[in-house]
Amino acid sequence: MTAPAFGDVLRTWRRRRRLSQLDLAIEADVSARHVSFIETGRSAPSRAMVLRLADVLDVPPRERNQLLMAAGLAPVYPERSLDDPELTAVRDGVQRVLSAYEPYPCVAVDRHWNLVSANAATSVLLDGVAPALLERPNALRLALHPDGLAPRIKNLGQWRHHLIERLRREVAASGSDELTALLAEVESYPGPSMESPDPGVVAVPLELCTADGDLLTFLSTVTTFGTALDPTAAELSIEAFLPADEPTAAALVCRSASQGSQQ
């Protein structure tokens, strides 16, 4: 397959960000004529120009490498797996955050929502999940698949709306084919009609029934590496599920103590 021309890739990102050539030129402090020439292939951009345009378009590090290669230039951001020795500090940082949230569930996911790591308290979320979903766990599949958490989520329509709208925003921002396919998949899962949250509420809760019939209510928070340049580190998200009420907090503390005594 022929690699896409730089101008075509740039145009796609510009339109994704809803910018005209003039808008992009003004933000990048270049002439609209130069942007036009780059998009049509009449001018070849320098490395500095590619990175300047990428900054304006807020292109993620991994996709910046693709822009550079489309322009016939070498990538500048090293692409490593999370197991790479260079990412030891990142792995250690993730584990510290996961441990710090005990006894509350906390997970780390990559840019495709695949589960990278989780703390022991996450077991409360995984009770009753089909083993097949745990072989290559994906947070969205675990949450919305009928063999996952979905049957135990009391406000499933509301939670589906929250997660799917979040994924739609990520698809729009990244243009990722993998996320586009994941969106189509989770939208196809059976479930109640998606319900928009009440604008008056503080946050969308996750209301989860345990195997014992108790109701746990969570609020979620997301942590990222804000200064990361490595694509793998920049794409990691750590999501913690904090108790939204005292009964949930007490139940999680009690569960943690019980698990600790059994070890």
pLDDT band at 175 (very low <50, low <70, confident <90, very high): confident
CATH number of the domain bearing residue 107: 3.30.450.20
Residue 19 and residue 111 in one domain: no
Tell me, yes or no, whether 65 and 103 share the same domain. Answer: no
| Predicted confidence (pLDDT) at residue 3 exceeds the cutoff of 70 | no
Instruction: Give the pLDDT band of residue 2 (cuts 50, 70, 90).
Output: low
Q: Which residue has the higher pLDDT, 242 or 260?
A: 242
Place of tokens 């994941």: 182
Tell me, what's the pLDDT at 101? Answer: 96
Dist CA 105 CA 103 (whole Å): 7
pLDDT of residue 261: 60
Work out the average pLDDT over 195-224: 86
What is the per-residue pLDDT across 146-155, written as a single tens digit (0 to 9) for each? 999 999 999 9
The answer to whether residue 183 sits within a structural domain is yes
pLDDT of residue 263: 57
Residue 42 domain boundaries: 6-70
The more confident residue out of 175 and 47 is: 47
- Direct distance between the N- and C-terminal alpha carbons of the chain, in angstroms, rounded to an integer: 55
Identify the pLDDT of residue 191. 84
Q: What is the mean pLDDT of residues 233-247?
A: 94
Indicate whether 196 pLDDT > 90.
no
Structural domain count of the chain: 2
Q: Strand 115-118 to strand 206-209: parallel, antiparallel, or no bridges (unpaired)?
A: unpaired
Spell out the SS3 assignment of 12-54: HHHHHCCCCHHHHHHHHCCCHHHHHHHHHCCCCCCHHHHHHHH
Instruction: Report pLDDT for 203.
Output: 83
| Same domain membership, residue 122 and residue 241 | yes
Mean pLDDT on 82-111: 94
Predicted confidence (pLDDT) per residue in 130-142, tens digit = 999 999 999 999 9
Tell me whether residue 165 is in a domain: yes
**CA dihedral sign, ordered 256, 129, 83, 81:** negative
Single out the residue of 105, 108, 95 nearest to residue 237, CA to CA.
Answer: 108
Average pLDDT of every residue of the chain: 91
Residue 131 lies in a domain: yes
**95/60 same-domain check:** no
In this model, does residue 1 exceed pLDDT 90?
no
Q: Are residues 19 and 116 in the same domain?
A: no
Domain end among 39, 70, 101: 70
Q: Is the pLDDT of residue 40 over 80?
A: yes
Q: What is the pLDDT of residues 155-170, one digit of tens each?
A: 999 999 999 999 999 9
In a domain, 33, yes or no: yes
Give the torsion through C-alpha atoms of 95, 205, 135, 63, to 10 deg.
Answer: -70
Position 48 confidence tier, pLDDT thresholds 50, 70, 90: very high
Residues 66 and 107 in one domain: no
Contacts of 214 (CB under 8 A, 6+ apart): 251
CATH number of residue 35's parent domain: 1.10.260.40
Task: For residues 202 and 143, state if they share a domain.
Answer: yes
Determine, yes or no, domain membership for 1.
no
Q: Are residues 98 and 211 in the same domain?
A: yes
Note whether residue 76 is domain-resident: no
Domain assignment present for residue 122? The answer is yes
Amino acid 80: pLDDT = 87
Residues 94, 192, single domain; the answer is: yes
If asked whether residues 250 and 184 sit together in one domain, one would say yes
The DSSP 8-state label assigned to residue 86 in this structure reads: G
CA distance 40 to 19: 17
User: Does one domain contain both 28 and 122?
Assistant: no
- pTM of the predicted protein model: 0.84
Asked whether residue 137 falls in the same domain as residue 249, the answer is yes
